[in-house]
Structure 1
């Protein structure tokens, strides 16, 4: 049986609108976007006590009660699920372990909900899609991290951008994403780079070169450049023109 979403919200000290508390739609301050903080009469987070769902009407963050506790606690989906339902004796295919948010990122969330038999049939493809998504997101955000790391004499700006990047990593729904990027950057070269780090290095250098040519170092522009370059390389890879991990060593 699923936990009560109000119990979970109270566990993490959410602030409720008193007149709606306990009703089918209970309202609370959103702990994710915090846009209603300091606004006495505004409560953007809606908690559906019948369906055990949550949704913020401002930032649009939404999901089920287990995902709600995942987001509030910072723990993994499997850990939260195990706390309530125990450990499953049968070994599960990795595709079944993906959270609703992860499945949404690769276009399989509604498929699982509406036709689970087909979801089971395509579990291997789902896992491949997730691995490809993970590779692309890690490469893209590693490229951004490299560009931030190489800003000279701009410590305040670097800190601001790292906070921005950490937030983007969090929304990508890949476990420990920022830590993986940071560890990859700091590790010794004798260990050899990950494939996504090689791809990210290429993207970062190409994008930085474009910024040098145009003298435009706005972070939004840099991000758009990296996304566009990744799309071009992916297209060329599909045509067989460019190996997706072709590049130069980190720090070279």
Structure 2
């Protein structure tokens, strides 16, 4: 039996229009585009929940779907994990790509392709999976680098809090399951015990830290720019030559950091 979409919305703390709460069409703030949460739009509620058919739609950004998709988007869980929560595991194994929801596929450019030709999409599932793994690795590296830079800011409590909130929200926007939790788990490890993506992020963080420290500029835009800039320069260098040695990676990051300044 499908869960009640109103119950799901309440569990995830959505803000409702009290006049319509519990009715067939329940209106609430859209947690996806957040357009109705902007200043001056306090009386706007763009997300509509149909409590009879268990479907939803935002009348501003157009996002829509059923209750299981709704919970998947809110929780960041793969669709099949949400389905298992209510109906148990399927007997037939599911390809990992089938666990990606529409928003995740949109981030790697496959959502529209799947919508237009699902049969051909299945033929290309391995390519989709490679794209998702590449996207996931890149986001893990960049966000760990950002987290490392923020963790080392001293005597600027408000700046640190602002940047940390940015990282938390950015992690949520990646649609990678428990991304921020993964950052925390890697951060408490000894450096040599960290995952490859965390080691790579650590090297980028060192370069970004030096770049910010040289001008003592820890404005959010500057810190993010330094990390992203060094990440893409490192990616360009990796395409030119295979980099297996950690010291070579650090050398490239430091060279690129000097160029950035």
One fold, TM greater than 0.5?
A: yes
Q: Establish whether residue 30 from structure 1 lines up as the match of residue 33 from structure 2.
A: no
Q: Deviations over 1:60-109 (max 9, x none)?
A: 48342323223445655333212444421111111111121211111111
Q: Establish whether residue 227 from structure 1 lines up as the match of residue 224 from structure 2.
A: no
Q: CA deviation at 1:165?
A: 1.1
- Uncovered stretches (5+) of structure 2, i.e. residues with no partner: 251-261
- Work out the CA distance in 1 between the residues paired with 2:114 and 2:76: 24
Moved more, 199-208 or 142-151: 199-208
Query: Superposition RMSD on alpha carbons, in Å?
Result: 3.3
- Work out the CA distance in 2 between the residues paired with 1:67 and 1:203: 36
In structure 1, the partner of 2:176 is 174
In structure 2, the partner of 1:185 is 187
In structure 2, the partner of 1:236 is 237
Q: Superposition pairs for residues 17-96 of structure 1, below 5 Å?
A: 18=19, 21-22=23-24, 27-31=27-31, 33=34, 35=37, 41-47=43-49, 52-55=55-58, 57=60, 60=61, 62-65=63-66, 66-73=68-75, 76-96=78-98
- Tell me if the contact between 2:145 and 2:202 (Cα under 8 Å) persists in the aligned partners: yes
Moved more, 155-164 or 66-75: 66-75
- Uncovered stretches (5+) of structure 1, i.e. residues with no partner: none
Q: CA deviation at 1:189?
A: 3.9
- Tell me if the contact between 2:110 and 2:128 (Cα under 8 Å) persists in the aligned partners: yes
- Tell me if the contact between 2:5 and 2:54 (Cα under 8 Å) persists in the aligned partners: no
User: TM-score scaled to structure 1, two decimals?
Assistant: 0.80
Moved more, 83-92 or 131-140: 83-92
User: TM-score scaled to structure 2, two decimals?
Assistant: 0.77
- Work out the CA distance in 2 between the residues paired with 1:161 and 1:61: 30
The secondary structure found in structure 1 opposite 2:37 is coil
Count of aligned pairs between the two proteins: 243
In structure 2, the partner of 1:210 is 211
Name the structure where helix makes up a greater proportion of residues: 2
Moved more, 216-225 or 170-179: 216-225
- Work out the CA distance in 1 between the residues paired with 2:224 and 2:13: 36
- Tell me if the contact between 1:27 and 1:43 (Cα under 8 Å) persists in the aligned partners: yes
